[in-house]
Chain A
Amino acid sequence: MPHVDAPAKQGPSRRGILFGGAAAGLGAIVALGIDSLSSAAAPAGGSEPLHGQAVIPFYGSHQAGITTEPQAHASYVALNLRDGLDHESLQRLLRLLSDDAARLTQGQAALADTEPELGTVPARLTVTFGFGPKLMELAGSSAGESQPLPEFKIDELEERWNDGDLLLHIASDDPLSVAHAQRMMLKDARRFASVKWVQSGFRRSRGSEASGTTMRNLFGQVDGTVNPVPGSEDFNSVVWNADGSTTMVIRRIRMNVDTWDELDRSGREFSVGRTLGNGAPTTGSKEHDEPDFEATNALGFTVIAAHAHIRRARSENTNERIFRRGYNYDEPPTGSEISNSGLIFVSYQKSVAEQYTPMQQRLSDLDALNQWTTPIGSAVFLIPQGCAEGGFIGETLFAA
C-alpha cells in the first residue's frame, strides 16, 4: 500500500509499557489489552486500513458532495465575481475549476499544480459548485431559486457571512486535501473572482464511528435523525429537480454554548423534544422511533412541547421538507468568550421558496432553540446538475 511507513517493529508503545508496569498484578492483562489495542490501531506489515485513496466520482448526472456520506471536513468558499466578467470569461472560469475538481477528486494533481504530492490523497474529496444570482444572470439564466432568503426576526446577519456569486463546497476526510484543493482552485479563480467568505466545518473523523452514524453538534445533540435518505425515492422527490439540479441554503448559526451550559439535561431535551443519549424522541426509546406529538404527561401537557424544535420544524404539508447536511464550526473565541461555536446549517431542496422558507418562518416565529441559537450568515445557491467527461459544471446554462 502506498504512503505507509510501517514501524519497523510492532509492540506495545513505550507509554503502554510504562502504564502496564505501574499496574502491578494486572500487568499481564494490561499488556495484553494494550497489545491488542495498538495492533488494532496500527498493525504491522502495512495492513492498517487506509482510506486516503477512497474516491468519489466527479462526473455524473448530479454533482457529488450531496448524497455522499458526509466527509469529516468541509470548507465552503463563497466567491464574488469581479466586475467586467462576461459570458465567455465565466465559462473559462468554470472550465478551469471543473478541471481542477475532476482531477483532484480522483487523486490526481491538478494541471500546473505546484504541490502535486498534496493531490494524491483524496480521502473521498468532493467539490460541489453553487451559483448565486449574479452568476446566473451573467450566464444568461434567471436568478430564480438562488435569490437570498427573506428576513427573519431571529436573524442577526453579518454581511461578511452573507451571499456570494460562486460557491465551492470542498470536502474530504482529510483536512490537508481540503486545504490543497481550496488553494489550487482559488489560484485558478483569482483573476475572475475574490473571496467573500470561507466557512470550515467538521464532523467526527472517519473511522471514529461507524459511517452512517447521525452526527452530533456542539450542543451534544444527535442532529440529522429525521432526514430523507440519499438514494431513496423520497430523497429524490425532496431534493432533485428534473434536470438534476437542486438548491442549497447555507446559514451560519451561532450556538451560545455558554448559556446552553446553564440548562440542565432535561431542559436541553425539552427544547428539542429528543433525548441527548441517543437522540430518541422524548416519547420513545430509540433514535428512529417516530415521535408521538400527542402524548401527554401527568399534568396533561404534551411531552413534546408546543415550542419544541422538532414540533415546530415539522409541517403537516409533507412537501415542506428538506435534506439537512450541516457541519459544526468551532472558531477561536475573542475577548472574554470561551467559545465561538455553531452550526454551518446546510440544506438541499428542490425549491427554497416552497420547502425551506415556510419551515424557517415557523422556526423564526417560535422555537425553543432560538434562545441559544442566532443566525449570523445566510446564502442561497443553485446547485446545477453534474456534468459528463469533457464537460464542465454549469455548461447547460450557457447552451441556451
Chain B
Amino acid sequence: MKTSFALRTTALSAAALIALAGCAGTPAANSNPAPAGATVTMKDPWVKAIDEGMSAGFGTIRNTGGQDITITSVTSPASSDLELHETVANESGAMVMREKTGGFTIPAHGELHLEPGGSHIMLMDLAEPLKPGSTVNMSLEFSDGTSSETIAPVKDFAGANENYDGSEHEGMDHGEMDKDDSESESAHDH
C-alpha cells in the first residue's frame, strides 16, 4: 500500500540491480540466485522520533526469493553509524540490546519483524533531529553485494527504550520521548 509518505522499497533499484547482475529475464536458479536486492522489500518501515543522539528503525523485512538472504549493514544519510541490533536477556535477566553479529538473516519466502523490544536497526550519531512526520532514507546492504532502498517515516513513540548492553554506553537508549517536547519554539499552551 502506498501511503502518505510514498513508502515502500523502491522497485527501481531492484530492477536496476537485476540488470546489473546480468540475470534479467532468467528465472532464478540455484546456481544463479536472484540478487537479494531484487527479492527483499521492507514493509511498513518507521523510525522513532528523537532530537539528538540515537534512534531505532523498525518494520517488516520480506524475502520473496528462494534463497536465504543476509542483511550485513544499513546505511542512511540520517546517521553515519548504523548497527543491526537484537534484544536479548543479559545475565541478570534484563532485556538489553546488542549488535547482531553476522547480520540479519531472512529465510527464503520468510520475513523478519523489526519491532520495539526486539530486533531493530540502530541509528547512532544522528546527523540532525529526527522530526515526526519527516522521513529517513535507508539502504539495506546484503551479503551478495546488492542493496535495497527504503523510506521510513519518523514517528513519536513512547516505547523502544531498551538499554544498551555495556555500561560505557550508559544513557544511550533510544531516547525517552519528552511529552512536553512540542514542535513549538516557545512555551506551549497546556
Interface residues in chain A, defined as those with a beta carbon under 8 Å from any beta carbon in chain B: 80, 82-85, 89, 91-93, 95-96, 98-99, 102-103, 106, 108, 111-112, 114, 187-188, 190-192, 194, 387, 389-392
Task: Give the number of chain B interface residues (Cβ < 8 Å).
Answer: 32
Report 24 cross-chain contacts, Cβ distance below 8 Å, ordered by A residue: A82-B182, A82-B184, A82-B188, A82-B189, A83-B184, A83-B185, A83-B188, A84-B183, A84-B186, A89-B131, A93-B183, A95-B4, A96-B4, A96-B133, A99-B3, A99-B4, A103-B3, A108-B1, A111-B155, A187-B158, A190-B182, A191-B182, A389-B1, A392-B4
Query: Please, which residues of chain A bring their CB within 8 A of the CB of B5?
Result: 95, 99
Query: Please, which residues of chain A bring their CB within 8 A of the CB of B4?
Result: 95-96, 98-99, 102, 387, 390-392
Taking a contact as CB atoms closer than 8 A, the residue among A82, A103, A106, A392 that contacts B183 in the complex is A82
Query: Please, which residues of chain A bring their CB within 8 A of the CB of B46?
Result: 111-112
- B190 within 8 Å of A by Cβ? yes
- B134 within 8 Å of A by Cβ? yes
CA distance in complex: A391, B4 (Å): 5
CA distance in complex: A190, B3 (Å): 21
- B185 and A84 form a contact (CB under 8 A): yes
Query: Please, which residues of chain B bring their CB within 8 A of the CB of A106?
Result: 1
Q: With CB as the reference atom, state the residue of chain B lying closest to A59.
A: B2
Query: Please, which residues of chain B bring their CB within 8 A of the CB of A98?
Result: 4
Q: How many whole Å from B175's CB to the nearest CB in chain A?
A: 14
Q: With CB as the reference atom, state the residue of chain B lying closest to A392.
A: B4
- B81 within 8 Å of A by Cβ? no
- B153 within 8 Å of A by Cβ? yes
CA distance in complex: A382, B183 (Å): 24
Query: Please, which residues of chain B bring their CB within 8 A of the CB of A103?
Result: 1, 3
Query: Please, which residues of chain A bring their CB within 8 A of the CB of B134?
Result: 92
CA distance in complex: A380, B49 (Å): 33
Q: By CB atoms of chain B within 10 A, which of A85, A112, A192 has the most? A: A112
CA distance in complex: A112, B60 (Å): 12
Are A112 and B157 also in contact (CB < 8 A) when A89-B183, A192-B182, A390-B6 are?
Answer: yes
- B155 and A92 form a contact (CB under 8 A): no
Query: Please, which residues of chain A bring their CB within 8 A of the CB of B49?
Result: 191
Identify whether the interface residues of B are mostly helix, strand, loop, or mixed: loop
Q: With CB as the reference atom, state the residue of chain A lying closest to B46.
A: A111
* Chain B residues numbered 1-44 whose CB sits less than 8 Å from any CB in chain A: 1-6, 44
CA distance in complex: A194, B179 (Å): 12
- B189 and A96 form a contact (CB under 8 A): no
Identify whether the interface residues of A are mostly helix, strand, loop, or mixed: loop
Query: Please, which residues of chain A bring their CB within 8 A of the CB of B189?
Result: 80, 82-83, 194
Q: How many whole Å from B119's CB to the nearest CB in chain A?
A: 16
Query: Please, which residues of chain A bring their CB within 8 A of the CB of B1?
Result: 102-103, 106, 108, 389
Q: How many whole Å from A62's CB to the nearest CB in chain B?
A: 17
Query: Please, which residues of chain A bring their CB within 8 A of the CB of B144?
Result: none
Interface residues in chain B, defined as those with a beta carbon under 8 Å from any beta carbon in chain A: 1-6, 44, 46, 48-49, 58, 131-134, 153, 155-159, 179, 181-190
Q: With CB as the reference atom, state the residue of chain B lying closest to A103.
A: B3
CA distance in complex: A99, B6 (Å): 10
Query: Please, which residues of chain A bring their CB within 8 A of the CB of B184?
Result: 82-85
Closest 8 CB pairs of A and B: A92-B133, A84-B184, A99-B4, A98-B4, A392-B4, A84-B185, A389-B2, A112-B155
Query: Please, which residues of chain B bring their CB within 8 A of the CB of A390?
Result: 2-4, 6
CA distance in complex: A95, B179 (Å): 20
Q: With CB as the reference atom, state the residue of chain A lying closest to B131.
A: A92
Taking a contact as CB atoms closer than 8 A, the residue among A80, A82, A84, A188 that contacts B156 in the complex is A188
Are A83 and B133 also in contact (CB < 8 A) when A95-B5, A188-B156 are?
Answer: no
Query: Please, which residues of chain B bring their CB within 8 A of the CB of A191?
Result: 49, 132, 156, 181-183
Query: Please, which residues of chain B bring their CB within 8 A of the CB of A83?
Result: 184-189
- B181 and A111 form a contact (CB under 8 A): no
- A114 and B159 form a contact (CB under 8 A): yes
Are A111 and B153 also in contact (CB < 8 A) when A82-B188, A96-B133, A103-B3 are?
Answer: yes
Q: With CB as the reference atom, state the residue of chain B lying closest to A85.
A: B183
Query: Please, which residues of chain B bring their CB within 8 A of the CB of A99?
Result: 3-5, 153
Query: Please, which residues of chain A bring their CB within 8 A of the CB of B153?
Result: 95-96, 99, 111
Q: How many whole Å from B60's CB to the nearest CB in chain A?
A: 11
CA distance in complex: A84, B4 (Å): 24
CA distance in complex: A112, B159 (Å): 10
Q: With CB as the reference atom, state the residue of chain A lying closest to B159.
A: A114
Query: Please, which residues of chain A bring their CB within 8 A of the CB of B6?
Result: 390
Query: Please, which residues of chain A bring their CB within 8 A of the CB of B132?
Result: 92, 96, 188, 191-192
Q: With CB as the reference atom, state the residue of chain B lying closest to A387.
A: B4
